[in-house]
C-alpha cells in the first residue's frame, strides 16, 4: 500500500486547519504544532499536511515571496458527501471559483474554491452521476 502526503505551505496553520476541517465536515480539533498539522480521515489516512511558511529549511516552503502560492497546484479531493460539502464550502467563501457542474472526463459533479492562502481546491463527488 502507498500513500501520498501532500504538504502545502500556509500562513496560519491553526486557521487553515480549522478551514479544511470545516470544508470536509470534520469535528474541529487543533493541529499538534502551530507550524505543522495533518488533516486526517476518520480511518487515520492523511488527507493533507499544512506547513507554516519558513518553519524549517525545506527549500520550496521557505517564503511565499519566491512565487505565488498555488501556482501549478490543484488540490483535488473526492468526497462521499458532495452536496453537504457544497453547503459547507459556500459558508467558507464569498464565491466559488467554479460553480457545481459535471466533469465530462470523470462524469462526477465537482466545484472549485480558493482556500485562505489562495490554493485552488476542487471538490469532486466520489461516484459518477
**pLDDT tens-digit map of 82-96:** 999 999 999 999 999
Nearest in space to 47 (alpha carbons), one of 15, 89, 3:
3
Q: Give the domain range for residue 113.
A: 7-125
Residue pLDDT, tens place only, 19-34: 999 999 999 999 999 9
Sheet order of strands, 36-40 included: 7-10, 46-52, 36-40
What is the per-residue pLDDT for 69?
A: 67
Per the CB < 8 A criterion, the answer to whether 54 and 60 are in contact is no
Q: Is the pTM of this model over 0.85?
A: yes
Q: What is the pLDDT of residues 40-71, one digit of tens each?
A: 999 999 999 999 998 888 777 888 887 776 77
CA–CA dist 127, 108 (Å, integer) = 6
Is residue 29 included in any domain, yes or no? yes
| Domain membership flag for residue 89 | yes
**Residue 58 maps to a domain:** yes
Residue 1 domain flag: no
Cell numbers found for residue 31: 493541529
Q: What is the pairing mode between strands 109-114 and 98-102?
A: antiparallel
Q: In DSSP terms, which residues pair with 10 in a beta bridge?
A: 52
**Longest Cα separation, the chain:** 44
Amino acid at each position: 500500500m502507498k500513500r501520498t502526503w501532500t504538504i502545502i505551505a500556509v500562513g496560519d496553520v491553526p486557521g487553515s486547519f480549522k478551514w479544511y476541517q470545516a470544508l470536509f465536515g470534520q469535528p474541529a480539533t487543533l493541529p499538534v504544532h502551530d507550524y505543522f498539522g495533518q488533516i486526517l480521515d476518520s480511518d487515520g489516512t492523511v488527507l493533507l499536511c499544512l506547513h507554516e511558511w519558513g518553519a524549517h529549511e525545506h527549500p520550496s516552503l521557505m517564503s511565499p515571496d519566491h512565487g505565488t502560492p498555488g501556482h501549478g497546484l490543484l488540490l483535488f479531493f473526492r468526497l462521499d458527501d458532495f452536496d453537504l460539502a457544497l453547503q459547507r464550502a459556500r459558508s467558507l467563501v464569498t464565491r466559488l471559483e467554479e460553480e457545481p457542474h459535471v466533469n465530462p472526463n470523470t462524469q462526477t459533479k465537482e466545484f472549485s474554491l480558493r482556500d485562505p492562502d489562495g490554493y485552488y481546491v476542487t471538490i469532486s463527488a466520489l461516484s459518477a452521476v
